[in-house]
Structure 1
């Protein structure tokens, strides 16, 4: 069987150990568990081994003996092996587990926990490999992180300006009613996640380093995008679509928002891939909203591209760039899946803008599932007989009687029985979705 540790034959490597925990204390010593990542020391390589080590640490001894557990070694779940170690019933697993002997530098350990070198041997499949594991050099890590942090800073500024521009363009009541609440929630989730990632990255750097300061700045920027822009826009859309919002409704809105964030963050802990797929489906709710309102002009294609671009660049760096400083493995399947999903959504929105929001839905499905809309361009002869000469109250110009019986695209008749020029009412509803004459609500499009 080939070894899953090919880099150990090079006799050097890098180690990143997470805080150990004591499983059991015996007369011989302490049994500890530690999750460890080992690489060959070259950032961006694809041979990263994650395993759990179980070591018996004897009192005042410089050597320790233990075992390695990993999915590439044994199909037995780690929890079962952990239970067997605690209950001293590890015998049946010994043959399938690599044994590990390490030299613990007690003097170095007492002086400095961050700069210790561990020498040891790994015995597996009748082979013995000697290795030296060193801690990751923080200076090297910080230097390799600076280009990434500078790139993310540029992306954050672009994203913030694009969002402010969209909020300014879609501040009218009609635009807000046609915007999707859930699309902005997905954006807020991804922004909060990026903020969380950079808070974690800051904890890896020296507080006095430039990389630490950049990480804190990026965390603050994404927190501002989330807490100021995203949440404010979500509340504005909600208020526009549901009218006057009471204190109880506002509380339920925020409860729903943060419950969604909590659920998605839990998903990110168990499966980062599924979490990213959900976040990259951010335009699906807007596509659905376009179908419901039969209008696809509320969000510009430029804004869609500028907003999606930073998210795609981050995924490219994390999962497609082989020399990323975080040592994420290259995952071509995930990148292709996410980009295909994004391109599909943008393609659907482009089709909706060109041919209509419901162009790809068969007519019989529209009749079954979508309520028939009011025809704003029907004849107005009955109204003219009752009211006599008609004029548009928006531009104060008279409405001609041509096509009065059959109706025409240039003239709009509202459900409340008032007549306007199409261009005049179109300009009006950019600010108010109600009749200029009687303030009755206007639904649908013309």
Structure 2
């Protein structure tokens, strides 16, 4: 039997020691004239430096756990900022898609730990932190946003609304299972599902447009969340010596990686424009809705049912000076300075708690 060594490893760390990974190609034949048998044999194989593999797996798990800790810190800051602003302006679907990414990463690492027992501890360490991020942090965020969507919830109708929340999680788990199956079977549908789940800023952009409110996230939070979520795609698609390429023959198309990262960058740019300027800045002028005029002039105070005093500072309102007061869509009047300061904290009417458009867009 003839063994011929092939090209040395492309991994530069292993190439320094050619004997650490020997790639072999074997061909041969087994002939038996008495049994009239002619058996052709062809083998391909290679040896791996286990110490090097363990080092790379531990480095990978350390970096991924560090990313998970940073995500926890960013999400906690986001929840704290949402409690002081209008939580209902956040898109629940966007947070659900962000959570779906973490659950997909956790379950995929769990499955890889079963297939590659030598890397079980490193992969399950990553999986544990991702499950912790989902079950403790992101579930809490989802509940806070869902609760802000339904302020009318009380002890009598809580079960009815809880069924709606349960349906959302059922759909989330079904999507994750379908995506994992398509990835495992290497079906082309997996690319579309991954592209869909990484469109996580699109629902937030649409919600900001529909409500006329800025996104509740700061620019730093948007950039941090986007960068941390792109860590795994950047590693898989653009690191030529990653763990997947070493152990599997799964095709990793570089073109899809460029499209995925580019699409996420476009979403992030649009969301930042909405945050810096206004939600309608990304639309052409012809598609922008008509702006609400807070300084509409009433005929008389009593004809339109306006209060004579500002409900924020309790001082009288001068209706003779059009710039000194503002009237909300729910027909409540306030001093201009008072309502501007109020909108910096909440985009709700101080009197009836109805959502109001941001005066900064006018």
Partner of 2:32: none
Residue 387 of structure 1, CA deviation:
8.2
Please provide the CA RMSD for this pair: 3.5
In structure 1, the residue corresponding to 2:199 is in which secondary structure?
coil
Partner of 2:152: 244
Question: Is 1:121 aligned to residue 27 of structure 2?
Answer: yes
Partner of 1:403: 321
Distance 1:190 1:10, change over 3 A: farther
Distance 1:274 1:252, change over 3 A: same
Partner of 1:200: 111
Residue 142 of structure 1, CA deviation:
2.4
Distance 1:354 1:143, change over 3 A: closer
Tell me the distance in 1 between the aligned counterparts of 2:53 and 2:306.
Answer: 81
In structure 2, the residue corresponding to 1:298 is in which secondary structure?
coil
Question: Is 1:185 aligned to residue 96 of structure 2?
Answer: yes
Q: How does 1:43-442 map to 2 (within 5 A)?
A: 121=27, 130-133=42-45, 139-172=51-84, 175-204=86-115, 206=117, 212-245=120-153, 246-270=158-182, 271-327=189-245, 331-366=253-288, 374-380=292-298, 382-383=300-301, 390-404=308-322, 408=323, 410-428=324-342, 435-437=349-351, 439=352, 441-442=354-355
The alignment covers a number of residue pairs equal to 325
Q: Which has the higher strand share?
A: 1
Tell me the distance in 1 between the aligned counterparts of 2:223 and 2:191.
Answer: 22
Tell me the distance in 1 between the aligned counterparts of 2:228 and 2:348.
Answer: 38
In structure 1, the residue corresponding to 2:45 is in which secondary structure?
strand
Asked whether the 8 Å contact 2:5–2:25 carries over to 1, the reply is no
Tell me the distance in 2 between the aligned counterparts of 1:415 and 1:375.
Answer: 9
Residue 182 of structure 1, CA deviation:
0.8
Residue 326 of structure 1, CA deviation:
2.0
Partner of 2:21: none
Tell me the distance in 2 between the aligned counterparts of 1:219 and 1:130.
Answer: 38
Tell me the distance in 2 between the aligned counterparts of 1:296 and 1:9.
Answer: 66
Distance 1:326 1:378, change over 3 A: same
In structure 1, the residue corresponding to 2:295 is in which secondary structure?
coil
Asked whether the 8 Å contact 2:179–2:193 carries over to 1, the reply is yes
Tell me the distance in 2 between the aligned counterparts of 1:253 and 1:122.
Answer: 63
Tell me the distance in 2 between the aligned counterparts of 1:41 and 1:130.
Answer: 21
In structure 2, the residue corresponding to 1:436 is in which secondary structure?
coil
Normalising by the residue count of structure 2, what TM-score does the alignment of the two structures yield? 0.76
In structure 1, the residue corresponding to 2:326 is in which secondary structure?
strand
Distance 1:330 1:421, change over 3 A: same
Residue 138 of structure 1, CA deviation:
5.3
Asked whether the 8 Å contact 2:89–2:211 carries over to 1, the reply is yes
Residue 283 of structure 1, CA deviation:
0.3
Normalising by the residue count of structure 1, what TM-score does the alignment of the two structures yield? 0.63
Q: Which has the higher helix share?
A: 2
In structure 2, the residue corresponding to 1:412 is in which secondary structure?
strand
